[in-house]
Amino acid sequence: MKKVLLTFALIFTAHVALAQDAAFKKDIMKVIEINGSAAQMNLVKNQILGMIPEDKHAAFLVEFDATMPALYDKLAAVYAEVYTKEDVKAMIAFYESPVGKKINAKAGEVAEKSQAASMEWAQGLQGMMMKYMQ
């Protein structure tokens, strides 16, 4: 009888842990969705599209979009390693606030402008590097 109770307790504990992990992953996925990651990925997608012949855009988009769930799963694993459940809940609360929503809405614009500023800086850096490499 003891073994049966112990087995039942272990199964119940495992089930509860898995349910908590599923809820934690769901919250992490929500953070990934609302923190601007999608806007940044759309920026990357659009840049890549510029390098692909137009007649192949549709096929590329299907394959690109099919890779996103695997990427988001990997990101979720990273978040789960780095952040606590309380951290993730706080992130959700922030991104659902007015400022968080504004950050999300402007993420693509900020990423695009930041990339342009970084490219300009890198061009200046290249000149400086050449000066010291000679």
Predicted structure pTM score: 0.65
Top pLDDT among 41 and 90 is at: 90
**What local confidence, expressed as pLDDT, does residue 91 receive?**
96
CA angle 102, 40, 79 (to 5 degrees): 85
20, pLDDT greater than 70: no
42, pLDDT greater than 50: yes
pLDDT, averaged across the chain: 84
Q: Give 132's pLDDT tier (boundaries 50, 70, 90).
A: confident
3, pLDDT greater than 70: no
pLDDT, tens digit, 9 for 90 and up, residues 74-88 = 999 999 999 999 999
CA quadruple 71, 73, 78, 84: dihedral sign:
positive
- Segment 88-102 mean pLDDT: 95
105, pLDDT greater than 90: no
Q: What's the full length of the chain, in residues?
A: 134
Q: Give 14's pLDDT tier (boundaries 50, 70, 90).
A: very low
Q: Give 128's pLDDT tier (boundaries 50, 70, 90).
A: confident
Query: Which of 88, 102, 96, 99 has its CA nearest to residue 39?
Result: 102
CB 75 within 8 A of CB 36: no
